């Protein structure tokens, strides 16, 4: 499968390296799109080394004038996985906002590729009724949500829901989805 892996600015961003590595080892072509916030937690070089593909960040970093990057990435994607997904990116996608590369790719891919979103954030943020409403809206529109762990000790010291689901479960979910879809 040709997978676009979106990585956002969560402490769980380091787990994106494990996800990218496993998907690549399993034979998938993984193209990473990072937000600026994600680059504060993990370097693009790490993900580039693991996937053997250029990591995309800037919406206007067009290196090939014959290609519009966000459209090209979206059209080539068999599946989009955003892991970890912050409340910010979830809100953008649910509201139809495409003001960075990742949200633009998600908007452009939504018609032709399944989009899987794995939230990761503080318990209070995750349980916020606005975030929950955005998640339910996305579900109702056909997006697939890989729910966070029901309860975990989070980096902020809180215990509760919000921690990124286990890497193995995320990878298995995505690969099963590709198998079911015949990708």
CATH assignment of the domain containing 102: 3.40.50.1950
Highest mean pLDDT among 22-31, 53-62, 173-182: 22-31
* pLDDT (0 to 100) of residue 179: 66
| Cα–Cα–Cα angle for 100, 101, 104, rounded to 5 degrees | 85
Q: Indicate which residue of 155, 156, 176, 181 is catalytic.
A: 156
Q: Is residue 29's pLDDT more than 90? A: yes
pTM: 0.92
Q: Summarize pLDDT for 56-94 with one digit per residue, the tens.
A: 997 656 566 656 567 889 889 999 999 999 999 999 999
* Residues whose CB is less than 8 angstroms from the CB of residue 68 and which lie 6 or more positions away in sequence, other chains included: 62
* pLDDT (0 to 100) of residue 162: 81
Per the structure, the count of domains in the chain is 1
Which structural domain range is residue 96 located in? 2-180
| CA distance linking residue 151 with residue 158, whole number of Å | 10
Is 4 catalytic? The answer is no
* pLDDT (0 to 100) of residue 65: 60
Q: Is residue 153's pLDDT more than 70? A: no
């Amino acid at each position: 499968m040709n997978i676009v892996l979106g990585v956002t600015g969560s402490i769980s961003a380091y787990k994106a390296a494990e996800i990218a590595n496993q998907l690549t080892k399993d034979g998938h072509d993984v193209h990473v799109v990072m937000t600026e916030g994600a680059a504060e937690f993990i370097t693009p070089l790490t993900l580039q080394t693991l996937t053997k593909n250029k990591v995309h960040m800037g919406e206007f970093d067009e290196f090939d004038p014959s290609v519009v990057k966000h459209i090209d990435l979206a059209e080539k994607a068999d599946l989009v996985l955003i892991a970890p997904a912050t409340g910010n990116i979830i809100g953008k996608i649910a509201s139809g906002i495409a003001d960075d590369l990742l949200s633009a790719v998600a908007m452009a891919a939504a018609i032709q590729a399944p989009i899987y979103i794995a939230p990761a954030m503080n318990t209070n943020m995750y349980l916020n009724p606005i975030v929950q409403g955005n998640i339910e809206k996305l579900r109702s529109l056909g997006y697939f949500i890989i729910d966070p762990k029901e309860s975990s000790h989070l980096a902020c010291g809180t215990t509760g829901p919000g921690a990124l689901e286990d890497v193995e479960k995320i990878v298995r979910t995505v690969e099963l989805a590709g198998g079911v879809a015949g990708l």
